[in-house]
Structure formats: C-alpha cells, structure tokens
C-alpha cells in the first residue's frame, strides 16, 4: 500500500504516552492472553455504543452502579505524529477523508463530516466512557471519534494471523464505516432496535451493522485502488484479516465450538464477502445488509 507521500490528517489526536515503530509495531506491552484476544476480536470491534457494556458490565462504568475505572493522564502531542506508525494512521485517515468527501455527496447526497481519530496507550477517556486497550478499536458516536491503541495491530498480527499495512488500513476503514453509518442515520436506528430485541435478534442486528461497516471499508478500498495506491497482494492481505477476525474462527480457537446465534460480527466468510462486495462495486447501495435475508 502506498501511503508515505500522502498528506497527514488534521483530525488525529495523539494521546499516547510514547512513540512507536512500524517494523516492531508500537505498544510493546505484550502478555495479552487468548481470553483478552477473544475480547479484541469478538467484542473490541463492537457497535461503538459503549463497548464496555459487553466487556465488563456495570462494574467498569463510573456512575452506573459500579466503581470508576482507573485512568491514566493522557499526553496530547501537537502537530502530526513523528513515528512511522502514527504517520501511517494519519495518512490512512486522510485518505478516508478525501474519499468519503467525494463518495458521500455523490451516493447519499450528504456532506461528509470527518471523524477524529484518537491514538492512545492503555487507558483513555471517551464520550462513551473509559477507552481500554482490551476493547480493541471502536467508534464512539456521541463524540464522533475513533479510538485506537496501536498495540491492537501487534496482537492482530501475532495472535490472530492478520497483519500488514493494508490490513491495518482496513481496520481503520471499518471504524470510519461506523462513522458513515452514524452520519446517514443507520447506526442509531439499528441500536435502538437492538435494545428492543431479544438476545438472538440483537446479535443478528449487530452482525448486520458490522458487515455493513466491512462493506463500507471495501468502498474505501475500491477508491484507493482507483487512485493507484494499492500494491499487488493488498486485497488478499485484507481478506486474510477479515477471515482471521470472523466470529466462527475466534470461537473455535477460544472455546472449541462455534455458536452461530452468538455471533456479533459475522463469520469469516461473511466478513470477506461483504468487504469484497464494497471493493468490487464501490457502491454504498450494494452495502445494504439490512435488506438481504442471506448474509
């Protein structure tokens, strides 16, 4: 993937405590067990509406019947990131801004309002509450921000079998996809429906939300290819990552059995299919996961 010469986004907030490198990948904490990785894969890419509810219940939520989660002071740097991985994320965010600023008006007759992306290390604050590394990347609708601890990429590569610059860009594109859902009104409606549904139906709605975000990431990739910024093998890289974070693969690895009714993000095949749908067509209309019975 060609990103080094791309502009840097002005919508990135660097709250990390230190820098990182692309080769070794940032974070360096290590020691994240398979149980936490299931959280990263199955729950970390949650709907974005307070993913803490899916991880630790009320205990993690200050002011809602539980104790306040510990936090660390965030160091906010000024200007674009200086480390390679930070600059990579900033460039990918800028690519999303440029593409959706054209696609959204053309295909949805709406002006694109760019989200901000927050890089943090360990623990931080969001309008959805405490942001923690174990959640994985997530989008918070109230403040329209994507939260990302770059150690997720390290764990995705080491323990989930998905890695590479285009795979990481796909992760960012997926979270921006949730922002698109929020802008066009799908995300609040879908989550309101989830709240009125039983567990099985709520899980199905969650899967449809996540697969649509995958498809929107594919629309982004379609346009990146049209710009000549995709190298040979990039799409295969993204498809391997989509397969690595499928609910069926993660459930099989963690508990030995697959329970489709408990899926919240979609199977490996579904995630690959919907990313490829967006990539092949470049059309938001092709990403309507709510009007099809067969996902």
* pLDDT, tens digit only, all 295 positions of the chain: 999 999 999 999 999 974 444 433 333 333 223 233 333 433 344 333 334 333 332 222 222 122 233 334 445 555 678 899 999 999 999 999 999 999 999 999 999 999 999 999 999 999 988 888 877 899 999 999 999 999 988 887 777 666 789 989 999 999 999 999 999 999 999 989 989 999 989 999 999 999 999 999 999 999 999 999 988 788 888 888 777 777 777 777 777 878 777 788 888 889 999 999 999 999 999 999 999 888 8
Provide the pLDDT for residue 44. Answer: 42
User: In this structure, are residues 156 and 244 in contact, taking their beta carbons and an 8 Å threshold?
Assistant: yes
Closest by CA position to 219, among listed 288, 147, 293: 288
Provide the pLDDT for residue 37. Answer: 35
Provide the pLDDT for residue 13. Answer: 95
Q: pTM for the complete prediction?
A: 0.80
User: In this structure, are residues 145 and 127 in contact, taking their beta carbons and an 8 Å threshold?
Assistant: yes
| Cα Rg of the chain (Å, integer) | 18
Strand order in the sheet with 12-14: 12-14, 116-119, 145-148, 138-140
Provide the pLDDT for residue 54. Answer: 34
SS (H, E, C) the chain: CCCCCCCCCCCEEECCCCCCCCCCCCCCCCCCCHHHHHHHHHHCCCCCCCCHHHHCHHHHCECCCECCCCCCCCCCCCCCCCCHHHHHHHHHHHHHHHHHHHHHHHHHCCCCCCCEEEECCCEEEECCEEEEHHHCCEEECCCCEEEECCHHHHHHHHHCCCCCHHHHHHHHHHHHHHHHHHHCCHHHHHHHHHHCCCHHHHHHHHHHHHHHHHHHHHHHHHHHHHCCCCCCCHHHHHHHHHHHCCHHHHHHHHHCCCCHHHCCCCCHHHHHHHHHHHHHHCCHHHHCCCCCCCC
Residue 15: other Cβ atoms inside 10 A: 19
User: In this structure, are residues 171 and 149 in contact, taking their beta carbons and an 8 Å threshold?
Assistant: no
Nearby residues of 63 by Cβ (< 8 Å), 6 or more positions away: none
Provide the pLDDT for residue 36. Answer: 34
Cross-strand partners of 125 = 130
User: In this structure, are residues 25 and 167 in contact, taking their beta carbons and an 8 Å threshold?
Assistant: no
């Amino acid at each position: 993937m060609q990103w080094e010469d791309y502009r840097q986004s002005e919508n990135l907030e660097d709250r990390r405590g230190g820098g990182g490198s692309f080769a070794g990948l940032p974070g360096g904490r290590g020691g994240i067990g398979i149980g936490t990785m299931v959280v990263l894969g199955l729950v970390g890419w949650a709907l974005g509406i307070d993913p803490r509810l899916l991880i630790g219940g009320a205990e993690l939520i200050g002011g809602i019947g539980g104790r306040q989660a510990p936090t660390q002071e965030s160091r906010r740097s000024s200007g674009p990131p200086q480390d390679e991985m930070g600059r990579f994320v900033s460039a990918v965010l800028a690519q999303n801004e440029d593409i959706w600023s054209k696609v959204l008006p053309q295909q949805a007759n709406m002006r694109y309002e760019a989200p901000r992306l927050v890089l943090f290390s360990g623990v931080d604050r969001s309008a959805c509450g405490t942001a923690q590394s174990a959640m994985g990347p997530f989008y918070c609708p109230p403040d329209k921000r994507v939260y990302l601890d770059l150690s997720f990429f390290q764990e995705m590569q080491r323990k989930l079998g998905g890695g590479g610059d285009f795979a990481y860009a796909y992760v960012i594109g997926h979270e921006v996809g949730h922002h698109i859902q929020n802008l066009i009104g799908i995300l609040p409606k879908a989550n309101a429906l989830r709240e009125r549904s039983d567990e099985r139906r709520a899980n199905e709605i969650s899967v449809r939300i996540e697969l649509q975000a995958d498809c929107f990431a594919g629309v982004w990739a379609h346009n990146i290819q049209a710009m000549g910024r995709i190298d040979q093998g990039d799409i295969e890289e993204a498809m391997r990552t989509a397969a690595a974070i499928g609910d069926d693969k993660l459930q099989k690895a963690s508990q030995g059995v697959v329970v489709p009714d408990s899926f919240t993000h979609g199977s490996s095949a579904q995630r690959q299919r919907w990313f490829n749908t967006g990539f092949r067509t470049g059309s938001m209309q092709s990403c309507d996961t709510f009007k099809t019975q067969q996902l």
